[in-house]
Amino acid sequence: MSARVVAQASTQRTSPGLSLGADAGLRRIEPPTHVAVLDVTRPDAVSDARSATVSAAPGAPREAVVVWGGDLVPHQDVLRSFAAKGGASLYAPIVAALRAADLAMLNFETPAAPSRPIPTSQMQFNVHADFVRALSQAGIDAVSVANNHGYDAGIDAVGETVRTLREAGIVPVGGALQDEDPLEPSRFTLLGETLCVMAATRLLNFDMVVPTAGRPRLGIARESQRAERDAFVDAVRRAKGNRCAAVLVSLHSGTEYTDEPESRDRTFFRRCADAGADVVIGHHSHTPHPVEMHRVSGSSRVVPIFYSLGNFLSNQGAAAEAGVRSAAGTHNVNFDARTRESILAVLRFRRARAGMLEVSRAGWVPLWTINAPLRRRAGEAQTIQAALMPRDGADDPLLRGRWSGVARRVGRDSLLAREDVPGWQEAYEASDLAVSASRAEARRPAESSRTARSSSGGR
């Protein structure tokens, strides 16, 4: 395993292979009593909260691995599962892959403002510090906060979100306090070089006056606002020339519940690549979109573009046990099995030369959300988890169909082998067991019903 990236917020993460010096002052974070403890230790606080560093240990690795997940959406049932079963439960099947990566990121589709209430609406979100701490303990180093739900709890809650994430050791990309610029890259030292990560949302939930300098704010590049689009592309171009050995761009964009991006999104994603982004990651549709290897005109550069990763964790598609897309001919998200599918982007970097990181390999593997409303006692919380989808769907007819569908829509050329996933043996073993158990439980009521009908003469 290569040296672990350490997020420099008010706390840091470490793991085997990471050297922080003799006076690092390790201590253990104690989460709330209802959150299961994961075996993670952290040294005391260090300086710049918007950057991250990794030590240059002897025999440093030749490659580093970055993984990037899609939308983390805290629906009410997700929060109930978290409260009843512990934060570790949400990510248990996939935690080995997150921790084994040098940098693990996703899209954080919610404010994290502890001073404000948790909304009861299914379309408006907020989470508190214990939810964030559990995410950090699962292995997430950084998140994009620039998305359409970023202002759900108000403008000032953006500042509270930034502080809450930093206090948990997570770098909030695309979010800024009143004296910061949300388009300024978050910097991570990878293989001794600076990896810059930027984020913007191309849509907002509210018809609002966007805050300017002096207020907490998000990175935005709305399609309707040419000045915002140009400003973001210019920021990408400046980053490439400002001590960034590589630039990763996160864009929240697109149309929900579609299978491919719109032409305007293709144009803007490619424009960011042409401006200097080495990888472009998209999310918002809640469904996986194709991966494109974009060749920059007049250059030998080829930029991986992931137009949408889908949902990393949510409660969408919970009724889609039959794999159907809609009910009664009308789209119904609860019956849309595509919202339980997503992809994990896996990016391998190597140090090409001093001051330059390049992507040596980029691809994806399918994820599956465990969230079917299985038989439960009255009042018992649903089990919701993020998991790696068993290879080829294993022996389950539904998952075989879902696997084939994802591979067809996203593209088999960039589909990776299990072994390309960091911590793959442990992560796939845990995921296969969790998915298999949930699928067996989902089938059991139907099997019981058939047995009952048979014994009663088929009535």
Bridge partners for 369 per DSSP: 386
Lowest mean pLDDT among 139-153, 227-241, 383-397, 436-450: 436-450
Q: How confident is the model at residue 56 (pLDDT cuts 50, 70, 90)?
A: very low
Query: Averaged over 62-89, what is the pLDDT?
Result: 95
Task: Give residue 361's domain range.
Answer: 57-455
In sequence order, which residues have a C-beta less than 8 Å from that of residue 212 and are 6 or more positions away?
Answer: none
Q: Which residues of 212-251 are buried (b: 16+ CB within 10 A; e: fewer)?
A: eeeebbbbbbbeeeeebbeebbebbbebbeeebbbbbbbb
- Answer whether residue 26 is part of any domain: no
- Answer whether residue 1 is part of any domain: no
In sequence order, which residues have a C-beta less than 8 Å from that of residue 405 and are 6 or more positions away?
Answer: 338, 341
Q: How confident is the model at residue 448 (pLDDT cuts 50, 70, 90)?
A: very low
pLDDT at residue 432 tops 70: yes
The rounded distance, in Å, linking the Cα atoms of 388 and 408 is 18
Q: Which helix (H) or strand (E) element contains residue 268?
A: helix 263-275
- Answer whether residue 4 is part of any domain: no
Query: Averaged over 346-361, what is the pLDDT?
Result: 97
Query: Which pLDDT tens digit goes with each residue over 224-276?
Result: 999 999 999 999 999 988 999 999 999 999 999 999 999 999 999 999 999 99
How many secondary structure helices (H) and strands (E) does the chain include?
Answer: 9, 20
- Answer whether residue 51 is part of any domain: no
* Terminal alpha carbon distance of the chain: 59
Sign of the torsion angle spanned by Cα atoms 314, 318, 320, 322: positive
In sequence order, which residues have a C-beta less than 8 Å from that of residue 23 and are 6 or more positions away?
Answer: none
Residues 233-238: contacts with CB within 8 Å, 24+ apart? 233/271, 233/272, 233/275, 234/275, 235/183, 235/184, 235/185, 235/198, 236/198, 236/272, 236/275, 236/276, 236/277, 237/275, 237/276
Cβ–Cβ < 8 Å for 139, 90: no
What six digits make up the tokens of 251? 């864009």
Cβ–Cβ < 8 Å for 459, 453: yes
Q: How confident is the model at residue 333 (pLDDT cuts 50, 70, 90)?
A: confident
Q: What is the reported pLDDT for 151?
A: 96
- Answer whether residue 406 is part of any domain: yes
Q: What is the reported pLDDT for 248?
A: 98
Q: Which of 263, 295, 405, 292 is nearest to 340 (CA)?
A: 405
pLDDT at residue 60 tops 70: no
Q: How confident is the model at residue 115 (pLDDT cuts 50, 70, 90)?
A: very high
115 three-state secondary structure: coil
Cβ–Cβ < 8 Å for 70, 364: no
pLDDT at residue 454 tops 50: no
- Answer whether residue 14 is part of any domain: no
Mean pLDDT value across the chain = 84
Q: How confident is the model at residue 331 (pLDDT cuts 50, 70, 90)?
A: low
Q: What is the reported pLDDT for 321?
A: 63
- Answer whether residue 97 is part of any domain: yes
- Answer whether residue 48 is part of any domain: no
Q: What is the reported pLDDT for 33?
A: 30
**In CATH, what number is assigned to the domain containing residue 111?**
3.60.21.10
448 three-state secondary structure: helix
Q: Which of 156, 152, 167 is nearest to 111 (CA)?
A: 152
The rounded distance, in Å, linking the Cα atoms of 184 and 6 is 19
**Helix locations, 102-222, DSSP H:** 129-138, 155-167
Cα 248 to the chain's mean position, in Å? 14
Query: Averaged over 64-72, what is the pLDDT?
Result: 98
The rounded distance, in Å, linking the Cα atoms of 317 and 73 is 13
Cβ–Cβ < 8 Å for 169, 42: yes
Parallel, antiparallel or unpaired: strands 341-353 and 356-370 = antiparallel
Say what the pTM is: 0.84
What six digits make up the tokens of 297? 């005109």
- Rg for the chain, CA atoms, rounded: 21
What six digits make up the tokens of 249? 């761009």
Residue type at 105 in one-letter notation:
M
What six digits make up the tokens of 119? 């909304």
Q: What is the reported pLDDT for 17?
A: 29
Q: Which of 216, 214, 218 is nearest to 199 (CA)?
A: 218
Q: How confident is the model at residue 397 (pLDDT cuts 50, 70, 90)?
A: confident
The rounded distance, in Å, linking the Cα atoms of 205 and 231 is 21
Query: Averaged over 163-182, what is the pLDDT?
Result: 98
Q: What is the number of structural domains in the chain?
A: 1
Q: What is the reported pLDDT for 320?
A: 75
Q: What is the reported pLDDT for 450?
A: 42
pLDDT at residue 449 tops 90: no
More confident residue, 150 or 28: 150
The rounded distance, in Å, linking the Cα atoms of 187 and 194 is 6
Q: How large a percentage of the chain has pLDDT more than 70?
A: 79
Parallel, antiparallel or unpaired: strands 175-176 and 330-331 = unpaired
Bridge partners for 293 per DSSP: 304
